[in-house]
Chain A
Amino acid sequence: MILETLLVTAPDWAVRHSTVLIPIVPLVVAPVLAMSPSGRLAWLVSIATTAASLYFALLTLAIVQSTTGGVISYHIGNWAPPIGIEFRVDSLNAMILLIVTLMGFLASIFSWPTIVAEISKEKAGLFLCAFLLCFAGLCGVATTGDAFNLFVFLEISSLSTYVLVAMGAGRDRRALPAAFDYLIMGTLGASFYVVGVGFLYAATGTLNMADIAAQLPALGANRSVQVGFAFIIVGLGLKAAMWPLHQWLPNAYAYSPSFVTMFLAATATKVALYALIRWMFTIFQPEFAFEQALFTWVLAPLGMAAMVICSFQAVFQTDIRRMLAYSSVAQVGYMILGISLGTAAGVSAGLLHLFNHALMKGALFMAVAGICLNVQGTTLRDFAGLGRSAPFTMTAFAIAGLSLIGVPLTAGFISKLQLGYALFEQGWWWAVLLVVFSSFLAVFYVGRVLQAVFFQPPANPSKLRKEAPLLLLVPLWTLALANLYFGIDASFPAGLARDGAVAALGLEAFQ
């Protein structure tokens, strides 16, 4: 309903150009910020920019939902595809765009206190410039309909991410090797993706995703198509932190500035997963024999391994950010498992979990960021007794943590339930047991933190501890309440996920 009002009130130019403006506005503002003399001004501008992107993303969603067929196609420079670059948004991207822009907006609001605390004020302009570039790149990946353009946007976001991660060096020098490892792995992932696109270009002679999809069935079991597909899956899997390819993630999340961790955890892997879904379902159809084999024998086992093994690893971490990072890899495992079913229910469960995971990990890392401001250190012992001295921050943390476990009445419960239904439908009851087991492990690692926070006395009472600033509490509680709200009335995200799955699989999958 809000979306309809938005559509009615929007000016004509905004309706016509909303798709292209989502990534372009931050891309244009970023160099201006690089020259901005005042950090605070840069911060205000970055909020306005992400807010504009959020507006255009909502508008795009409204347009997609109101048009029949639900596809917006925008031709850059008015060159018709497949020759020109096409920005193509359907229900699947519209959902991802909403997540990215919403998280970017909330992140930019609370960035100021953490920048002051962790990075010098003089560098704030450049830091926010890198943030906006990263944001623009992620939005770009989610809007573009051109395979090579996707690589360019992916690299824009990745390169600025390496810089952002390395900015954590002011607090802990281990951020530098972490950023370097991420650079090596991330670049290899993107390069694999390009090699794959090259093979597909050799086979089809086009780079437009819709056009590739149209040409592939005629090629049949073509060797170079299969090789290209393998390269693309590995490359994007690296970016999405699919289980054995996740080695860069824990360190990068643990040592980067807390603001960056929050933003990356909520968006970066999600966007890579979106690209994976786009390639697996829209471009290569699941009817291809080799793709069925991949789903059953590669993706599903990897997803399950991630769920169990990384949850185990999370249980044994003493640093809370590392623990949450391992848990992120485990959650990616749930999404991969849902996707690997290849059914409408599975994909929609995976997408729903993607949406909810952005909400809960965003809230968790934001709460940790708030604690970082005052307590130097993020180990379990630093968190002991915080429930009394910072009740608002820690209550939000607890809500998001419960959502991560999947307690009823939280968003996490709904998506795990959906995943369970989808697995049962396929007859994989043993996979349901694994999901339950992995959630049980989540009870352990989240429970450890909550027990320390609420039921233990502070380990070192002489340390200063207080509530996070209001600027941080507002976005934090927005996310925490969203976790509760979508746990009770999940119609909005579930509708988005269902539409997304329809867009990915085609309408007939639901009949």
Chain B
Amino acid sequence: MWTFILEHAGYWAIIALMMISLYIAFSAENLIKRLVGLSLFQTTICLFYVTLGKITGGTAPVLLPADMPKHAVDHGAAGAAVDGHLVAGGGERVADVVHVYSNPLPHVLMLTAIVVGVATLSVGLALIVRIREAYGSIEADDVRAIDIETALAQEAKLESDLKEATA
């Protein structure tokens, strides 16, 4: 029981963080806090993927000289070429690798996800700056109240316009 819980410590942390960040993103009235929740959620996803890609005892997934095919060593250890060999060699190449490497794919995916997260965050912040300029507040309930006022004022103006027109 305890070993099960401890072995999955990373996943427990991910679950907790996801819950917390979702709650922040939904419940906070302050727009910045909402964005913080959103960012936290995206970071937790990165944590999730990286946890998936971890192999016990694995090092950074860049081929060490011992594992390089002969040709690539002559070639000055070009990453792209080695990749090509790994693919071309298929299953049997993996068998004679000396070191254990972590799975690089989730890391690469998360590199993209981080960039997406940064872009989202900056668009969100830019929007908040504009909301602050237009409304003078970054509290969602204030903004909502101002919106309702505007809508009522518009309605009233339409009403008076209509009266003017018919009179």
Query: A: which residues have CB within 8 A of B?
Result: 79, 83, 148, 151-152, 155, 159, 162-163, 166, 169, 173-174, 176-177, 179-180, 183-184, 187-188, 190-191, 194-195, 198, 201-202, 207, 379, 381, 459-462
Contacts and interface: CB of A to CB of B under 8 A. Distances in A.
Nearest to A84: B87
Given A159-B120, A176-B127, A198 B161 contact: no
A144 B50 CA distance: 24
Nearest to A379: B158
B42 interface: yes
21 contacts: A79-B87, A151-B113, A152-B116, A162-B123, A169-B134, A174-B147, A177-B147, A179-B127, A180-B124, A180-B131, A183-B120, A183-B123, A184-B124, A187-B42, A188-B22, A190-B116, A198-B48, A198-B106, A201-B106, A207-B105, A381-B158
B36 to A, nearest CB: 11
A163 B125 CA distance: 12
Contacts of B158: 379, 381
B77 interface: no
Question: Secondary structure of the A side of the interface?
Answer: helix
Nearest to A179: B127
Interface in B106-132: 106, 109, 112-113, 116, 119-120, 123-124, 127-128, 130-131
B143 A202 contact: no
Given A191-B41, A460-B165, 7 more contacts: A83-B87, A155-B120, A176-B135, A183-B123, A184-B34, A198-B52, A459-B162
Contacts of A202: 52
Task: Classify chain B's interface size.
Answer: 35 or more
Given A83-B87, A159-B119, A379-B158, A176 B134 contact: yes
B127 to A, nearest CB: 5
Contacts of B35: 184
Interface in B40-57: 41-42, 45, 48-49, 52
Contacts of A462: 165
B127 A162 contact: yes
B165 A459 contact: yes
A195 B49 CA distance: 8
A467 to B, nearest CB: 22
A201 B52 CA distance: 9
A319 to B, nearest CB: 10
Contacts of A174: 147, 150
